Structure 1
């Protein structure tokens, strides 16, 4: 796969994004006036204490949740201004997702689960690329297994392969190493780096793991729904120190 050409606009981003749940005296401001720009081919970690708004921010950026106010861009498209049908098309054509819950179909094999997005879109399978993704994630001998026959870590890798196989421009990953052991988690983070550095894909990862964040080239730190720090080339030690101070 060839390196993506530099784009003249951010891969995605937000402008004065606010997300409020509830109403009147029961309002919860989950994301509060956040403006961020994510460059193409970058690897960004979103971090913060529990309840800081990091998953809500990612869901809004990915078009899975509508903002209360502000703008959300994927490329030049403002998702907040588009009808749901158009947002669905952008999610299908440009975005890949890795969720905390694997969302695998229990009656399908690992291979069938991985290829499902291509089948639904009526897109031809690029077998060499499929084999590359599968090999990179160590799933070559698990393709005929159903989810019930796989460990939690293996199911997570199947979910990741499913997100990668469509070659999305932007990949959103919510705690992708949460169910993985150290060795498998490291392999996954290295693969995400490869997708960013070699394939020009944009990675946005929500994580509570400072070590995982150190694989990114940028870390956005959230507190009470706001971005309170934007750290270039984050280290595990630096991120851990910041988080400890934030919750103190």
Structure 2
């Protein structure tokens, strides 16, 4: 069965006061977004590198109380910044606060300034992926042990396009894969993901395909939809948080799902 189209917003917690971030999350919910994500960094990724910025998971806890319908999550949590068992407990707690609306987005990490400024070992890309591979079973194990248990199976979203390691981790552990790129790139990655799923004995249709989008939905949307993408996420940064692109994608979604 074809998954319905869903629209996400990555509300980047940079260059704005928290009041503006909270109000934008509320507006996105009112407009009809399906998911509101933030990201897991300690400094802005563009604009003033030392501009206003807020931490990811404390914000998700606040969003769990401040919203009532949208799913929420990080796009994505950096595996390096928290013990896997602690992250599982944090996710279970936000799951309960939100009445079962959390998506556990996770990736291996890449922004070296975060590591250097906060005292984490940056290491190598391969080493960070190996750490993620070790963390995912620990997260799953801890979620099974917690009391109370999560309200539902918390969907795990893995972000990244590495063809040998990341996509194999997606095949083994993820409910959602999030990537970037034009349709040609997405087509290649989806093909490789399907092969990894076959290799580990998993039905690839169990994994929702998500991608970040820029441009006009009427032009880009059908091309990505043909490749199996069902979650389309628009990114927006402060201080203004212009949601006009989000509105266009929501309108396109409504036409597709009608």
User: TM-score, length-normalised on structure 1?
Assistant: 0.39
Q: Higher relative contact order by CA 8 Å / sep ≥ 6: 1 or 2?
A: 1
Higher helix share: 2
Higher strand share: 1
User: TM-score, length-normalised on structure 2?
Assistant: 0.38
